[in-house]
Structure 1
């Protein structure tokens, strides 16, 4: 049975355009994968703790020397990474907040980036270890894609590639604060989703 891991991060709930694009993708994926399983993680509804010195200290403490608090910290990442490893495909929806992604999604990325587990360093540089396909669904108030201040889409793609997720496609609904133009962009992105798989 195929498994799709879906990660949502918008604070806008059902009004979120990035979530709506991901909804359309999930429906399409389930049509192509009858009996498939969708695992959903909403990092807005259930935010992760921010990555701090305590987090780093726990990860760098040998396993047999960790305190109970450190074990609990490491267990957060262990669960997220296991969830990622168990999936066949990953779908991530991410709005643009202040030229980048929500801090809740950044925290998720911080926890799943673990040397020796999701990536490793070699003489040729870093190598991702996840080796799965991913789809990215984004929205922004203005038409920011490709502009110098777009730190959303390039960042997400760079991070996912770093841990070995092959971004098969990106669906962008720009201009969502610009009325009719934004609606047209959303419709176009949604139509693109219908032929994505």
Structure 2
């Protein structure tokens, strides 16, 4: 049995095009591998605390110096890292909001990044400590982006590399709000690519 972790990040709920594409992709994976175990983490309906001074200290101070609230934040980080490590495949819904990723996903990443736990500092730079696995970024955009203006895919790749993940696959459906024809063509291309991958 393999385990697939699905991270939902869209504020649009079931109307979300990134969620719809992810769910189609996951269904195709289930069709190909029926014994897959699915873990869904909805970062919008079950939001995580954003990083602040208290949270910063919670992940860096000795446990003996942490408050009860900080220990709870640390335990949450432990649980999320353990959940991520249990997954053989990760699927991330990645809508583009104001030229960046959803803040809910950034809060998740802040809990996943733990010096000495998910990565370590070395003389040659950070080294990821989590095992590598396939991570699929199902990205949606209302318009189109020049590669120099892409603050959606590259930052996520960079973060995943920090914790040891190199097998990152991006599937982008863009131009979804430009015109009905543009939306139809982009979604058709995305569906075809997903079928090939799954």
Same fold, judged at TM 0.5 (above): yes
What pairs up with 1:81-100 in 2 under 5 angstroms?
81-100=81-100
Secondary structure at the counterpart of residue 166 of structure 1: coil
Q: Measure how far apart 1:66 and its partner are.
A: 2.3
Q: Measure how far apart 1:195 and its partner are.
A: 0.8
**Is residue 51 of structure 1 aligned with residue 68 of structure 2?**
no
Match of residue 21 from structure 1: 21
Match of residue 196 from structure 1: 197
Structure 2 distance, partners of 1:186, 1:77, is 35
Q: Measure how far apart 1:143 and its partner are.
A: 1.1
| 8 Å Cα contact 1:5-1:89 kept in structure 2 | yes
Secondary structure at the counterpart of residue 49 of structure 2: coil
Match of residue 128 from structure 1: 128
Match of residue 186 from structure 2: 185
What pairs up with 1:37-186 in 2 under 5 angstroms?
37-130=37-130, 131-144=132-145, 146-179=146-179, 180-186=181-187
Structure 2 distance, partners of 1:161, 1:182, is 31
Alignment CA distance shift 1:182-1:147 (3 Å):
farther
| 8 Å Cα contact 2:59-2:114 kept in structure 1 | no
TM-score (norm 2): 0.93
Q: Structure 2: any 5+ residue segments left out of the alignment? A: none
Write the deviation string for residues 144-183 of structure 1: whole angstroms up to 9, x where unpaired: 2x43322011111111122112334211010111122122
| 8 Å Cα contact 1:160-1:167 kept in structure 2 | no
TM-score (norm 1): 0.94
Q: Measure how far apart 1:67 and its partner are.
A: 2.2
Write the deviation string for residues 126-148 of structure 1: whole angstroms up to 9, x where unpaired: 1112222211100011012x433
Question: Over aligned residue pairs, what C-alpha RMSD do you find?
Answer: 1.3
Structure 2 distance, partners of 1:51, 1:42, is 18
Secondary structure at the counterpart of residue 110 of structure 1: helix
Match of residue 2 from structure 2: 2
Structure 1 distance, partners of 2:101, 2:80, is 19
Number of residue-to-residue matches in the alignment: 196
Runs of 4+ aligned structure 1 residues displaced above 6 Å come to: none
